[in-house]
Amino acid sequence: MSKKTIFRRIGEEETNYATHHLYRYPGQFVPQIPGFLIEKFSKKYDVVLDPFCGSGTTLVEANLLHRNSYGTDVHPIARLVTKVKTRKISMSNDELITITNINPDFDDFDEIAEECKKFEYSYLFNRENLMPLLKLRKEIYENYTDDIRNFLLVCLLSI
């Protein structure tokens, strides 16, 4: 396979599979590059280590190619995103219904407003937008188990 074939222009529709676009991460590369290299230089069930895993692109590709993958990163969000993107989650119908019915009402307005003061994200969100996001985060932390909570937090981070 020539370099032109490997590094040809890849459209978004060709990279939007598995969990690759669950979270946009700076410096994220197209999955075909690690996929090609993993397939070329390893066999099924070999170990793939990514010491700077970022958003987990290499680890997702390794899993899709039946390799045992391990990754690390100093950034806590990178570690969370990678954990979510490489973990299989099973949910009951009740859990799915609960997720789609998260209560947007602010019965705990004072508590959320107080928490809102702690955050210095005014350059990202105005108060009217930050309050509902903090409410969602509170609901997620209080009502879901680790795997589902992590998945929902990554979705929330993707906003």
pLDDT tens digit string along 81-140? Answer: 999 999 998 877 777 777 777 666 656 666 766 666 666 666 677 777 777 888 888 888
Task: From the options 3.30.70.20, 3.30.70.260, 3.40.640.10, 3.40.50.150, give the CATH code of 1-88.
Answer: 3.40.50.150
Confidence of residue 1 (pLDDT cuts 50, 70, 90): low
Residue with more model confidence, 120 or 36: 36
State the pLDDT at residue 143: 85
Q: Do the Cβ atoms of 60 and 31 come closer than 8 Å?
A: yes
Sign of CA dihedral 123, 19, 78, 118: positive
How much is the pTM? 0.79
Rounded (10°) CA dihedral 146, 148, 153, 155: 160
Residue 126 or 25, more confident: 25
> What is the domain partition of the chain in residue ranges?
1-88, 90-159
Percentage above 70 pLDDT, the chain? 78
Amino acid 112: pLDDT: 65
| pLDDT confidence of residue 104 | 61
